Amino acid sequence: MIITLRSAVRIALIVLASVVLQISFFSYLSFFGTTPDIMPLVVITLGLLGGALVGAVCGFAAGLVLDSALLQTLGVWSLVLLTVGYLAGRYREGTDISNSLVPPLLIGALTMAAAAGFAAIQLMLGVRTPVSLLVLREIVVQGLLATLLAIPLYPLIRRVLRPAIVDDFEARRARSPITRSASRAGRTRGRRMRRSVGVSRS
């Protein structure tokens, strides 16, 4: 992803809108006794589209804003979200995502990991009351809900960030009626851009 001022503003707006939507909308919904959590989904999506660094920084910032807005213990969400954002970005940098089913499944699995990580941190910080086994159901259902929600939300976020995504830039150029030499020049430019932002393609 090419990080310009415009794309940075878009990412910031996506993160802020997600926090507001999570607190005011998704937290009120209940499916199979579980509340959908879109914050890991958004951070993982940003990691998948922008790489490890974008995923980690967005995860840290999103966690900070979420914890602050809800007056919760600072740092817990940041730690969990920056980890899943980074992991998603690392996956993207090492593997070419060619199948459209991969992002939702990956988002589901990493959301489950985020929920489990959050639970582990809470247990490490100390919980005075008994913990029900229903917490395990919560973790699994959150992963499944994230997979379902990723089907519309991943393409939506990708669409919003499309101008900054290197792959889409190339695809757009390939579709345009240009000469073979111009196309070659475009590919060279694409390679140069990928190298400058540290994105490798296998």
Q: Which is nearer to another protein, 119 or 173 (CB)?
A: 119
How far is it, in rounded angstroms, from Cα 132 to Cα 122?
A: 14
Per-residue contact string for residues 77-96; x = within reach of another protein by CB under 8 A: -xx--x---x----------
- Which residue from 9, 131, 174, 178 is in contact with another protein, where contact means CB under 8 A? 131
Question: What amino acid is encoded at 88 in this protein?
Answer: A
- Which value, in Å, is the radius of gyration of the alpha carbons in the chain? 18
CB of 173 to another protein, least distance (A): 25
Give CA angle at 83 (135, 154), nearest 5°: 85
DSSP letter string, 27-40: GG--BTTB---HHH
* 31 phi and psi angles, rounded to 5 deg: -125, 120
Q: Quick one: which segment of 66-74, 105-113, 146-154, 181-189 binds another protein (CB under 8 A)? A: 66-74
Q: Kindly state whether residue 137 participates in binding another protein, applying the rule CB under 8 A.
A: yes
Q: Hey, what are 150's tokens?
A: 């990723």
Number of residues that bind another protein (CB under 8 A): 57
- Which residue from 4, 72, 95, 100 is in contact with another protein, where contact means CB under 8 A? 72
How far is it, in rounded angstroms, from Cα 114 to Cα 105?
A: 14
The alpha helices in 70-101, defined as continuous H runs, are 76-94
How far is it, in rounded angstroms, from Cα 192 to Cα 181?
A: 17
CB of 34 to another protein, least distance (A): 8
CB of 50 to another protein, least distance (A): 12
Distances (CA, A) of 139 to 35, 39, 109, 158: 10, 14, 10, 26
Per-residue contact string for residues 19-58; x = within reach of another protein by CB under 8 A: xxxxxxxxxxxxx---xxx-x------------xx--xx-
Q: Quick one: which segment of 98-106, 121-129, 145-153, 166-174 binds another protein (CB under 8 A)? A: 121-129
Contact, 122 vs 76, CB < 8 A? yes
Name the residues that contact another protein, by CB under 8 A: 19-31, 35-37, 39, 52-53, 56-57, 60, 63-65, 67-76, 78-79, 82, 86, 115, 118-119, 122, 125, 127-135, 137-138, 195, 198
